[in-house]
Amino acid sequence: MHTRKLGPDLEVSAIGLGAMGMSMSYGPNPGDRDDMIGVLRYAVDHGITFIDTAEVYGPYVNEELVGEAIAPIRDRVVVATKFGWNIVDGRMQGTDSRPEQIRRVADASLKRLGVDAIDLFYQHRVDPNVPIEDVAGTVGELVAEGKVKHFGLSEAGAGTIRRAHAVFPVTAVQSEYSLWTRDPEAEVLPTLEELGIGFVPFSPLGKGFFTGTVTPGRPFAPGEVRATVPRFEPENLAANQALLDRVTAVATERGASSAQVALAWLLGRAPFIVPIPGTRRRERIDENTAATTVALSADDMADLDALVDTVGVAGNRYGEAGMKMVGL
């Protein structure tokens, strides 16, 4: 697989791997812990060098899982994790990016991951109670101390990105971005291009929608995040099928899967974009990495770019609480 750069010098595989679903949000795992470790190592063996986790995934157990998986292959992997929550008895109790909290999380994450330094340390969500300048300055101090290598933000707006970057260089911004979630295009992506910051789309397959495996009437497992997402409500899911049909038509012409086209579209949007699809299956690793070989024509890109305007999207990407969390 070819590589891309986030910021001026963080080189990663063009497709990364989001590990969250191995511990939470998508129902029971298809295998046990050892199998998930096997999937993570399989991904690295097949060209993926960029793995994304967070303290809150679990909480904590996902970092431990990733740490165990990468222990024998640390020199081949870039690991991103995140801070920014007040976690009480295993539950998020709002944001917390106070400097002392950032330092506590960094030390705890280092231990769980079993690494000497965190390659990319994101603020998971902007904390309205802590100036972003204080956040950037604290992470800058952690970099100077050798505990962190690069600073990132997640779901931050253009103004926040600029303020943080003025204090300490932001290497990457992670936000939801896919064929049906286009919010970053108006302000965030132009800002990142101007400042030389990388962009890491999470949920690049629309929480699995663009794999074609989520159909109207499909039951969700207890506790599965998609059961709370308005876009996956039966009526909205049926309406959104028109989006998938258009993507599938392009995929058929290119001899690819709909998921591969969705990822290839993201890769084609800008050279500083590195999507991190999540999966728990080896066959999906193969499918996702092969997206880097799918050649979309200029007409394909233009048609896909226009999907939201020509077809439309039914339902919000989060429920009411989630929308407030990202400031929408």
Q: Are 162 and 195 in contact (CB under 8 A)?
A: yes
pLDDT under 50: residue ranges of the chain = 323, 326-328
Tell the residue number behind the tokens 């770019």, with chain if given.
305
177 catalytic residue (yes or no): no
Q: Quick: pLDDT tens for 48-88.
A: 999 999 999 999 999 999 999 999 999 999 999 999 999 99
pLDDT in tens, 193-243: 999 999 999 999 999 999 999 988 888 988 899 999 999 999 999 999 999
Q: Which CATH architecture has domain 3-212+270-293?
A: Alpha-Beta Barrel (3.20)
pLDDT recorded at residue 241: 96
Q: What are phi and psi of 273, to 5 degrees?
A: -100, 130
Helix runs in the chain, H state only: 33-45, 61-70, 99-113, 132-144, 158-167, 188-195, 234-254, 258-269, 282-290, 298-305, 307-310, 320-325
Residue partners of 9: CB distance under 8 A and separation at least 6: none
Q: Where are the domains of the chain?
A: 3-212+270-293
Which strand (E) or helix (H) includes residue 4? Answer: strand 3-6
The whole-angstrom separation of Cα 240 and Cα 234 is 10
Dist. CA 242–CA 238, nearest whole Å: 8
Q: Which of 26, 57, 122, 177 is catalytic?
A: 57
- Average pLDDT of the residues of the chain: 95
Is the dihedral angle over the CA atoms 317, 319, 324, 325 positive or is it negative? negative
pLDDT at 323: 43
Query: What is the H or E stretch that residue 82 is in?
Result: strand 78-83
d(CA 295, CA 259): 14
Two tokens, residue 325: 């969390």
pLDDT of residue 219: 85
> What single letter denotes the amino acid at residue 188?
V
**What is the Cα–Cα distance from 150 to 164, expressed in whole angstroms?**
13
pTM score, two decimals? Answer: 0.96
The predicted structure's pLDDT at residue 221:
86
Q: Mention every residue, 6+ apart, whose C-beta is less than 8 A from residue 277.
A: 15, 17, 18, 204, 205, 259, 263, 284, 288
**Enclosing H/E stretch for 88:** strand 85-88
DSSP 287-321: HHHHGGG----HHHHHHHHTHHHHT---S-SS-HH
